[in-house]
Amino acid sequence: MKRLTAILLLLTGCVITNRMHAQESTYRFDMGGQIGMSGYLGDASSSIFSHPGFSGGLTFRYLPDVRWSLRTLVNVLSISGDTRGMDDVFPGFSNYDFKATVIEAQERVEFNFFPYGIGETYKRLRRWTPYLAAGVGVSISTCSGQTNAGFNIPMAFGIKYKAKPRLNLALEFSMTKVFSDHMDGPLSDLHQIESSFARNTDWYSNISFSLTYEFGERCATCHYVD
């Protein structure tokens, strides 16, 4: 009887363990797309919400653990501006307006405030988490027949939600500083006041919604074979 009980307990434990491994399965990558609203802050705009545009792109993440991720982004954004109606009065009472298309490529590091995932209760995973991100990248702007490029530094805050074990939703707000004053075309500085390179540059924003799918299942138990 004792042997039978021990066998039953062992089989039950194996079943529970297998089910736990199935629920705790995690993945190394996720990939998907995002759409949103872009904004511009520079010489021809006093607010990032003055002239909203459209943004869309692709996203790819490497997921080393439940707290950190390394993310690659490629986005296309439309930005525009108009000095009419601004509080600033420019020399000669000049006005300027523009429309530009920006292509950006970024590499970011993301930090989740909570351990993010489904299952693995011993890790206290949560299906949602706020996150912060920062990184480096390149922005290329096409405006008035001219193309200009500059390095950028993106900074972002967002919220992720795991709708299903492999399906993720996210809402994010990002600000990107570009080390170029020509994202808005040939316009350099309407104030005609000399300033430092770091100060006299353009910014743009992006409010985006993304949908990603995880793949590349991790090996839960590794067996050595000679």
**Domain housing 179:** 28-217
Mean pLDDT confidence for 3-28: 48
On whether residue 123 sits in a domain, the answer given is yes
| pLDDT given for residue 17 in this prediction | 41
Q: Is residue 224 part of a domain?
A: no
DSSP β-ladder status, 97-112 and 202-217: unpaired
| Cα torsion angle, 73, 49, 151, 101, sign | positive
> Does residue 166 belong to any structural domain of this protein?
yes
pLDDT for the residue 91: 57
**C-beta separation of 160 from 212 below 8 A:** no
Is 183 within the bounds of a domain? yes
**Better pLDDT: 24 or 147:** 147
Instruction: Give me the CATH number covering residue 154.
Output: 2.40.160.20
Check: CB of residue 190 under 8 Å from CB of residue 96: yes
Q: Is residue 44 part of a domain?
A: yes
pLDDT at 15 exceeding the cut of 60? no
In sequence order, the β-bridge partners of residue 68 are: 111
Q: What is the pLDDT of residue 97?
A: 80
pLDDT digits (tens, 9 = 90+) for 83-129: 776 666 555 656 778 899 999 999 999 999 999 998 766 668 999 99
Q: Is residue 4 part of a domain?
A: no
First to last CA, the chain: 40
Number of domains into which the chain is organized: 1
Separation between Cα atoms, residue 153 and residue 165, nearest integer Å: 32
Integer-rounded Cα Rg, in Å, for the chain is 24
Between residues 153 and 10, the one the model is more confident about:
153
Q: Which pLDDT score, from 0 to 100, does residue 20 have?
A: 39
SS (H, E, C) 15-27: HHHHHHHHHCCCE
Give bridge partners of residue 153 from the DSSP assignment. 177
